[in-house]
Amino acid sequence: MPYDILVLGATGFTGRLIVRYLNAHPQHRTSFSLGIAGRSQSKLDALKEQEKLDDSITVVQVDVTQPSDIERAVKDAKVVINTVGPFIRWGAPVVRACVEHNVHYVDITGEVPWIYDIIQEFHDRALQNSTIVIPASGFDSVPSDYSAYLAHKALKSVAPNATMAETTSAFTLKAGISGGTLATVFEMLEVPRDKVKKSFANFATSPVKGKSTPAFQISYRLPHLTPPVYGGTFVMSSANRAIVQRTWGLQQQAGSASAYGPNFKYTEFMQTSGWLSGVVLSLTMAFGAMVLVALKPLRSLVQKYVAQPGQGPTQDELENGFFKTVTVASSDPLSETSAPVHVKSVFSAKGDGYLLTSVFTSEAALSILLDHDKLPTLGKQGGVLTPASALGDVLYNRLMATERFEEKWEQIDDKKSA
């Protein structure tokens, strides 16, 4: 039975949240039909009962280790939402089936080595048949991608001819972690170091090389702001940077009206209470990463005592979480005699990262399904894209309509740069 959207991995922690969100969506039934898929029929039956899903929702048993199962499930969909990770182990066959059957695809991954691989393997084919493939459509990495996108729009509001140069985002958030995410983290630690280094290099995911930024700093600060905003290394920053750089590269290559400009540089960090706490955070993150990479027996021990796949934050924790990004973006000099323009853009939302992932990913799928004619040119053309490059204002408007999100901006009067 055909369905418009298929949620693959529906019985997992994040998959369940996406199913819940789509089932309650005001456009469900009137504008789109829904299918849910998972490996265990008993878990699918339990999900249907627990979430009070009616018989209009199609249930599909799928084992992602079996290509024939994937083909059978995917070919009846218009958009697939994939939540089955680790993607570096299970994701490529799903993307392959979607591209071959011209079925659009979004997922929740933050696994940059895998994203690098699917760009190499599937981008050209997806472009040929106008299939939209958007990895990293959840909390990895919509907040970062759209923080840069919205800062660029703010700069253009001040100076229509401005091109964006140095761009820095500071994150604050309250969020938990699921067993599925932790399982992916441990899986990523098994990826060969040379592959990790190659895929995380500056602009490795971009079709165009740009202005590099360091992957790690001991201390960070938002420029042009008084009082100063300091911070340290953000655990997601390398993955997010890869997506933001791909957005820039795709737009730059296409000569898009939304292109940020040739001198764009992006950095992000976790905001802390002061300079010293930022340094401590960076050093702690660096030391912890080195220990986990170097000591494989420790990883095995840690895995036994953390949340397991299927586990995650409670409903209260999901509702009480939040994120906020404060982004300071500077233009290139507007002329030989005029200084750069600086803006501060704030993008924030109510909800834990997993709850927001259900919103981001669902609305990304609905942007493709219901608003395809309004997408940016890059989105209509297809390929392995990013949320901002493929969906632009369409996804932004959908997010704002949920009333969970806020966005505001202001010009910074920086007398020093003047």
> Looking at this protein, which amino acid is placed at residue 328?
V
Instruction: Classify residue 130 by burial, with Cβ atoms within 10 Å: 0-12, 13-18, 19+.
Output: middle
Cα 330 to Cα 45: distance, rounded to the nearest angstrom: 53
Give the tens place of pLDDT for each residue, 75-110.
Answer: 999 999 999 989 999 999 999 999 999 999 999 999
Q: What is the pLDDT of residue 417?
A: 43
Tokens of 251: 């737009």
Q: What is the pLDDT of residue 334?
A: 85
Q: What is the pLDDT of residue 6?
A: 98
Q: In the Cβ-directed half-sphere of 401, how many Cα atoms lie within 13 Å?
A: 12
Q: Of 51-60, 72-81, 168-177, 299-308, which range is least confident? A: 299-308
> Tokens 């190659």 — which residue?
198
Q: What is the pLDDT of residue 363?
A: 98
Q: Say if residues 239 and 215 touch (Cβ distance below 8 Å).
A: no
The two most distant CA atoms of the chain are separated, in Å, by 70
pLDDT of 184 higher than 70: no
Q: Say if residues 238 and 139 touch (Cβ distance below 8 Å).
A: no
Cα 220 to Cα 310: distance, rounded to the nearest angstrom: 35
Cα 92 to Cα 122: distance, rounded to the nearest angstrom: 9
Give the tens place of pLDDT for each residue, 147-166.
Answer: 999 999 999 999 999 999 99
Q: Say if residues 168 and 328 touch (Cβ distance below 8 Å).
A: yes
Length of the chain measured in residues: 418
Q: Say if residues 352 and 320 touch (Cβ distance below 8 Å).
A: yes
Average pLDDT, the chain: 91
> Tokens 């009137």 — which residue?
30
Nearest to 409 by CA among 151, 36, 120: 151
Q: What is the pLDDT of residue 212?
A: 87
In terms of pLDDT, which residue wins out, 211 or 302? 211
In terms of pLDDT, which residue wins out, 418 or 110? 110
Measured in whole angstroms, how far is the alpha carbon of residue 100 from the centre of its chain?
24
pLDDT of 67 higher than 50: yes
Tokens of 20: 């819940």
Give the tens place of pLDDT for each residue, 193-218.
Answer: 888 899 999 999 999 999 888 888 99
As a dihedral over the C-alpha atoms of residue 250, residue 261, residue 377, residue 6, rounded to 10 degrees, the angle is 50
Cα 7 to Cα 19: distance, rounded to the nearest angstrom: 7
> Looking at this protein, which amino acid is placed at residue 334?
L
Cα 98 to Cα 91: distance, rounded to the nearest angstrom: 11
Q: Say if residues 169 and 147 touch (Cβ distance below 8 Å).
A: yes
Cα 226 to Cα 109: distance, rounded to the nearest angstrom: 36
pLDDT of 412 higher than 60: yes
Cα 265 to Cα 168: distance, rounded to the nearest angstrom: 8
Nearest to 112 by CA among 141, 132, 84, 133: 141
Give the tens place of pLDDT for each residue, 228-276.
Answer: 999 999 989 999 999 999 999 999 999 888 899 999 999 999 999 999 9
Q: Say if residues 268 and 237 touch (Cβ distance below 8 Å).
A: yes
pLDDT of 352 higher than 70: yes
pLDDT of 388 higher than 60: yes
